[in-house]
Amino acid sequence: MGKIIGPGSLIVDLTCYAPRLPAAGETVVGTQFRLGPGGKGSNQMTAASRAGAEVRLIGSWGKETLSAVLKEHYAREGMSTGFIRTSEKAATGVALIEVDEKNAQNRIIIAPGANAEVGYDEVMAAEEEFAASDVALCQFETSLPAVEATIALAKKYHIPVILNPAPYVKTPDAVFAGVDYLTPNETETESLTGVAVNTLEDARRAAEILLGKGIKKVILTLGDRGSCYFDGKKEIVLPALPVKAEDTTGAGDAFTGGLAAAISDGFDDETALRFAACTASLSVTRKGSSASMPYRTEIAALMRSAYGVEIV
């Protein structure tokens, strides 16, 4: 079992499901409300943990009652909270999520709260854990200094860095030069490269730009169009698996968390890509973000049936 470490966001999701999403100024009557654990960092670490990895998230939550949603989730999952600090001033991060029940698409607004307090010093305090880890994982729902510190420690201890560039923020190319695996979706890819990914040729052009920034491997996640892998020499196009989506919230997090778990286990890139795709495909068949992440036995069963690949 591999070990994964990195800074990440801890957010409580407030999710409403409705027959359709409202237009500006309109009120739509929803069908269901759910409150549960979320945040890109926490979602990805939950996915990796359920997929079999040992995880250490470096994060921050508030002191108010809402943080109990996250604390109960970590206790239930048996995930370490050793590097999660409690903010004295800021509230726990919150996400307002709208889900269209017809097509499972969503709209999200986040209020980061205590997540903004995770910076360079908080990551550096976990240096001993980096030395004993197999993969470093980060996103942009914490601060850029936290990402930079993660990359610096990962390079010091020769472990690969997976960066999910979400939500998009303008980032110096020097940061990308330290990234081993980048996992942007279509929107993030266009923001990073100026290329709208409508065709495979578009994906190749966007990947070439990203590889030119010094990133070693680029994996574009394209929703129901699947994913594409590029490393400058090898190209893998993986169609989406045929599943009935209930809620796409957290699908990208499931993919990245599954990828991190697979890489930490020592899987080759093609097997890791398939493992990540199975993780994401299973996650969209159930509601919620962290709660929707599948377990390793489920992923292994889908790997077997979809790709004929046996994993333990």
pLDDT digits (tens, 9 = 90+) for 256-292: 999 999 999 999 999 999 999 999 999 999 988 899 9
* Tokens 């004929």, residue located: 308
Q: Which of 13, 180, 253, 265 is catalytic?
A: 253
Model confidence over 181-199: pLDDT tens digits?
999 999 999 999 999 999 9
What structural domains and CATH numbers belong to the chain? 3-307 (3.40.1190.20)
DSSP, res 56: E
Whether 180 is a known active-site residue: answer no
pTM of the model: 0.94
Long-range contacts of residues 198-201, Cβ cutoff 8 Å, at least 24 apart: 200/228, 200/237
Coil, helix or strand at residue 15: strand
Across residues 9-36, what is the average pLDDT? 93
Across residues 84-106, what is the average pLDDT? 92
pLDDT, averaged across the chain: 95
Pair of tokens at residue 129: 């854990």
Instruction: With beta carbons less than 8 A apart as the criterion, state whether 291 and 50 touch.
Output: no
Model confidence over 57-71: pLDDT tens digits?
999 999 999 999 999
Predicted pLDDT at 246:
87
pLDDT band at 102; cut points 50, 70, 90: confident
Residue 103 pLDDT exceeds 90 = no
Predicted pLDDT at 78:
96
Predicted pLDDT at 1:
77
